[in-house]
Amino acid sequence: MDLTEKKISGEDIFDGVVLHVRKDTVELPDGNTSTREYIKHNGAVCVIPITDDGEVVLERQYRYAIGKVLTEIPAGKLEPGEDRLEAAKRELKEETGYVAGKMICIGEFYGSPALLEERVTMYLATELIKEERQLDEDEFLEVFTMPLDEAFERAMANEFDDAKTHLSILKAYIMLKK
């Protein structure tokens, strides 16, 4: 069965600084029509940095959309046309000050594929060297570290509620500890 939905017409609802909202009329697989409201997004990257001592570098950051402080790994949106690995290196340096000797891709995900075009690529960063961080003007975050073993136990106990952090900790632990 062809599950594809075909665009009939489209409408720009809102073009903001970070949000770009679209509403399309589509043809469903059975020939009927429906509407699809969704968010355009350039994509994002995240990095799980592991120090030579086996500590994960984490951040506490206030997230206005959900109204609370989340514990997360470093992450950020792609600049237009930016390479994903370069974006990951940039965000790691800006937010934590770390530069990685080694970075490998450990997967990708769509965080909310029914609504949001955003695709997030995950990197594991090791062989870390500490330099100065360079936060964006409106960015406020606290950096701290936690042993990877403890982070894994906390992830299994559901103590991380950010998708990229939850997932990257599990994958990094399975890859590095087995």
Single residue of 32, 53, 80, 81 touching a second copy by CB under 8 A: 32
Q: Does position 18 bind a second copy by CB under 8 A? A: yes
Contacting range for a second copy; rule: CB under 8 A; set: 50-58, 84-92, 96-104, 105-113: 105-113
Alpha carbon distance 178, 30 (integer Å): 47
- C-beta separation of 121 from 88 below 8 A: yes
Q: How far is the CB of 35 from a second copy (least distance, A)?
A: 7
Q: How many residues bind a second copy (CB under 8 A)?
A: 66
Q: What's CA 109's distance to the chain center, in Å?
A: 8
**In the set 8, 104, 129, 156, which binds a second copy (CB under 8 A)?**
156
Closest contact distance (angstroms) between CB of 131 and a second copy is: 22
DSSP, res 149: H
Query: For residues 41 and 65, is the Cβ–Cβ distance under 8 A?
Result: no
Residue 150: helix, strand or coil by DSSP?
helix
Q: Does 16 bind a second copy (CB under 8 A)?
A: yes
Helix extents (H) in 49-108: 84-96
83 and 121 Cβ atoms separated by less than 8 Å: no
Active site annotation includes 150: no
| 125, β-bridge pairs | 49, 103
Positions touching a second copy (CB under 8 A) are: 1, 3-5, 13-14, 16-19, 21, 23-24, 26, 28-30, 32, 34-39, 41, 60-66, 69-70, 72, 105-120, 138, 140-142, 156, 158, 161-163, 166-167, 170-171, 174-175
State the catalytic residues: 137
